[in-house]
Amino acid sequence: MTTTLITGANKGLGRETARRLVAAGHTVYVGARDAERGRRAAEELGARFVQLDVTDDASVEAAVQTVEAAGGLDVLINNAGIETRTDDNSVPVAETVTADHMRITFETNVFGVVRVLHAFLPLLRRSAAPVVVNVSSGLASLTNLSDPAHPAHFYPGVAYPTSKAAVNMLTVQFAKAFPDIRINSVEPGFTKTDLNGNTGTQSVEQGAEVIVRMAQIGPDGPTGGYFDVDGPLPW
């Protein structure tokens, strides 16, 4: 049976992904910072709970020990992420973004991915068919954001797309370094979640589609790529 860990899985895209993968027969670990919310979500989904704060070394190491003791890991989904917003639910733009905005965003979205990947690599490398899915964003595409004709071009924020572009680079470099692991970035689309103040235009069911699909690829599947539900995206 495939064992899957999803970070930030007590709500939103992570929770829906967990629900779908449990239904597909995976043993799923719901990783969450908040123990009460995480346990409740895991119980409701028929999954397992593991306390996991991607910004904390000790928390991640404890999660590794929990998952290892139960048998190992086949699929890691780096889903936990944040987008800094102001009180009126707008994003800091080039004129107002600060180093603190960048630091806070990168701590979860980039350093957190590295921290979790580094810690779980030994378990993934023991799997017969290891997979890593890094939840990125369409806003990470330099090609699309620099194209005035593309819908993403309108987005004025700095910290979030910069962090997700960094996630895409992590995907490329880790995929090259570990060719036996299928490692890809995915763009779930503008999904209605707490991350964007529930301003998204699609449901979590729609957004989770590409995450679930890429979590289930086999050893012959793509690696080092960047995909949405319709296929490859330009970097």
Which string of DSSP letters, residue by residue, matches 93-130? BTTT--HHHHHHHHIIIIIHHHHHHHHHHHHHHHSSS-
Choose the catalytic residue: 11, 29, 155, 160: 160
Tokens coding 52: 């996991």
User: CA-CA distances (angstroms) from residue 44 to 19, 24, 165?
Assistant: 9, 16, 34
User: CA-CA distances (angstroms) from residue 79 to 69, 96, 106?
Assistant: 23, 27, 14
Q: Is 235 exposed, middle or buried (0-12, 13-18, 19+ CB in 10 A)?
A: middle
Active site residue 164: yes
Choose the catalytic residue: 164, 176, 192, 226: 164
CA-based diameter of the chain, in Å?
A: 51
Among candidates 130, 231, 117, which has minimal Cα distance to 174?
Answer: 117
- Please identify every residue annotated as catalytic: 160, 164
